[in-house]
């Protein structure tokens, strides 16, 4: 029966238009995923959905969302959702639609006119809180209504999925197009998701690493993003260099601890970014101090467990070296709740936004969201005469 013959069918289609694919974030009706809709006289609806690939991890979510939407239509008494899988032709049409007609393997963020702010979170050495800053900054930006992607390119310690409670979630691949894993309104891809086994050690170097990064940037369907936040491996290595080459407009936040020695290492990471002509937005000092409550009289005092002044020192040194102001953007205290939030997959900026560390991270996100981008340190696409 056509929609003209039965207006309820039209209403069911309109209801299906409100259901987004959980990974692509666009209505399933636009993506060619609604194959068939029928309705009998008793108000029993049948909707046949075409999944992009068989074994799609979002199958149950889609089933629930479609059932809910169709049951909301007055006159529908029950819904049966059938699941099928797209054939090659349908998948090719979907990929064409998602790429907006663009040829394959282009990095959208490197195209002229692309408005996504690509920000890499870098550090000179490991364990200073780079991933914690990445995850909390991204989550805070998403909570402000920004559309945010996270690319965890830390081959040594890809901890982003755990910090978001994603466990072993794998992205869905539609042929050679990879759908990022949705989390807290963000799109997430981790280099760890490309490994067949969780505990497999990655010893990628040079060209292979470069190819992996290209894949994560070009083959992932990122859609329109306000921000792409990257968690880089510590140090001044291959990934940072590849990123600078691939996305010259990307910018860098350098994370350090307050130790003087750590800040020197952080400066090197910042200088490296500048050599690749990435602008250094600023320095974040993490594990700045510990707030302790005295058991005897209950008053609180600060302990500089990791020394002090390292963040400012790195910021000053980078400003000197790069010739533009590199500010100290935030000082994040050492806090048990932040660590527990990371361990439990609940970023502190949403799980406990009143905590001092969360406030510092939220203020950092406000700054990043509100800033107008300067040109210092960036490639301008003109050659000196
Ligand atoms: N401000 C903080 N207060 C308490 N714990 C923190 C803080 N920042 C980070 N941590 C904890 O320190 C550990 C290392 O942090 P994180 O993984 O973010 O660092 P990293 O620089 O990304 O490390 P890697 O180089 O291994 O990826 C984690 O357990 C994290 O929860």
Shortest-distance Cα residue to atom 16 of ligand 1: 129
Residue 112 contacts residue 247 (beta carbons within 8 Å): no
pLDDT band at residue 382 using 50, 70 and 90 as cut-offs? very low
Please name the residue that has the structure tokens 């029966």: 1
Do β-strands 186-190 and 181-183 pair in parallel, antiparallel, or remain unpaired?
antiparallel
For 14, phi then psi, to 5°, come to -65, -40
Q: Is 313 annotated as a binding residue?
A: no
pLDDT tens, position by position, 20-34 = 988 788 889 988 899
Going by pLDDT thresholds of 50, 70 and 90, the confidence category of residue 364 is: very high
Q: What is the tens place of the pLDDT at every residue in 193-246?
A: 876 665 655 555 556 667 778 888 888 989 899 999 999 888 766 677 777 778
Q: Which of 122, 127, 202, 357 to mutate to test the pocket of ligand 1 (most atoms within 8 A of CB)?
A: 127
Could you write out the three-class secondary structure of 10-27? HHHHHHHCCCECCCCCCE
Task: Look at residue 361 and give its three-state secondary structure.
Answer: helix
Give this prediction's pTM. Answer: 0.77
DSSP notation for 59-77: HHHHHHHHHHHHHTSTT--
Say whether 311 counts as a known binding-site residue. Answer: no
Ligand 1 neighbours by CB, cut-off 6 Å: 123, 126-132, 154, 157, 159, 234, 286-287, 332, 334-335, 338-339, 342, 357
Q: Of residues 65 and 155, which shows the higher confidence score?
A: 65
The residue length of the chain stands at 385
Mean pLDDT taken over the chain: 84
Annotation-wise, does 310 bind a ligand? no
Q: What is the DSSP string of 212-264?
A: HHHIIIIIB---S-SEEEEEPPSSS-HHHHHHHHH-TT-EEEEEE-S-HHHHH
Nearest to 203 by CA among 238, 239, 152, 156: 156
* Sequence-separated (6 or more) residues with CB below 8 Å from residue 283: 253, 254, 255, 256, 266, 270, 311, 314, 315, 318, 326, 327, 328, 329
The residue contributing the CA closest to ligand 1 atom 1 is 334
**Strands 148-152, 186-190: parallel, antiparallel or unpaired by DSSP?**
parallel
Contact (CB, 8 A) for 289 and 332: no
109-370, superfamily in CATH?
P-loop containing nucleotide triphosphate hydrolases (3.40.50.300)
Percent of the chain with pLDDT over 90: 44
Ligand 1 centroid from CA 328, angstroms? 19
Q: How many CB atoms lie within 10 A of CB 295?
A: 6
The answer to whether 21 and 28 are in contact (CB under 8 A) is yes
| Whether pLDDT at 352 is above 60 | yes
| Distance set, CA 319 to CA 34, 258, 313, 322, 337 (Å) | 55, 17, 10, 5, 33
Class of the domain covering 7-98: alpha beta
Greatest mean pLDDT range, 50-54, 231-235, 280-284, 373-377 = 280-284
Give the span between the Cα atoms of 213 and 191, in whole angstroms.
8
- In this structure, the residue with its CA closest to atom 29 of ligand 1 is 339
Token pair of 175 as six digits: 């042929």
pLDDT for residue 202: 58
Q: Which residues pair with 303 in a beta bridge?
A: 290
> How much of the chain is helix, strand and coil, in % rounded to 5?
35, 25, 40
Distance (Å, whole) CA 347 – CA 327: 25
Q: Shortest CA distance to 281 belongs to which of 144, 379, 373?
A: 373
Helix (H, G, I), strand (E, B) or coil at 130: helix
Structure tokens at 236: 């001044």
The full set of domain ranges for the chain reads: 7-98, 109-370
């Amino acid at each position: 029966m056509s929609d003209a013959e039965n207006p309820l069918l039209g209403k069911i289609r309109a209801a299906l238009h409100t259901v987004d694919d959980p990974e692509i974030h666009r209505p399933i009706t636009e993506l060619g995923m609604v194959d068939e809709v029928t309705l009998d006289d008793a108000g029993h609806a049948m909707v046949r959905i075409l999944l992009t690939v068989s074994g799609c991890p979002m199958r149950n979510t889609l089933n629930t969302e479609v059932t809910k939407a169709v049951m909301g239509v007055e006159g529908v008494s029950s819904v049966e959702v059938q699941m099928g899988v797209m054939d090659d032709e349908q998948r090719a049409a979907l990929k064409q639609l998602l790429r907006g007609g663009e040829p394959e393997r282009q990095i959208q963020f490197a195209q002229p006119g692309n408005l996504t702010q690509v920000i890499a979170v870098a550090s000179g050495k490991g364990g200073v809180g780079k991933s914690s800053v990445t995850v909390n900054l991204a989550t805070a930006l998403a909570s402000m209504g920004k559309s945010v992607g996270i690319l965890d390119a830390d081959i040594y310690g890809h901890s982003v999925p755990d910090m978001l409670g994603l466990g072993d979630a794998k992205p869905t691949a539609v042929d050679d197009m990879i759908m990022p894993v949705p989390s807290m309104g963000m799109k997430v891809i981790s280099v760890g998701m490309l490994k067949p086994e969780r505990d497999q050690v990655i010893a990628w170097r040079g060209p292979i690493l470069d190819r992996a990064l290209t894949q994560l940037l070009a083959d992932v369907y990122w859609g329109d993003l306000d921000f792409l936040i990257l968690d880089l491996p510590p140090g001044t290595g291959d990934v940072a260099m590849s990123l600078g080459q691939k996305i010259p407009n990307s910018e860098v936040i350098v994370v350090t601890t307050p130790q003087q020695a750590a800040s020197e290492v952080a400066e090197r990471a910042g200088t490296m970014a500048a050599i690749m002509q990435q602008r250094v937005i600023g320095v974040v000092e993490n594990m700045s101090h510990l707030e302790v409550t005295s058991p005897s009289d209950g008053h609180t005092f600060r302990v500089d467990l990791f020394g002090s002044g390292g963040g400012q020192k790195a910021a000053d040194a980078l400003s000197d070296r790069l010739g533009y102001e590199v500010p100290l953007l935030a000082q994040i205290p050492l806090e048990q709740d932040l660590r527990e939030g990371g361990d439990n997959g609940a970023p502190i900026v949403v799980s406990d936004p009143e905590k001092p560390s969360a406030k510092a991270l939220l203020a950092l996100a406000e700054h990043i969201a509100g800033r107008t981008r300067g040109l210092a340190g960036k490639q301008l696409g003109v050659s000196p005469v």
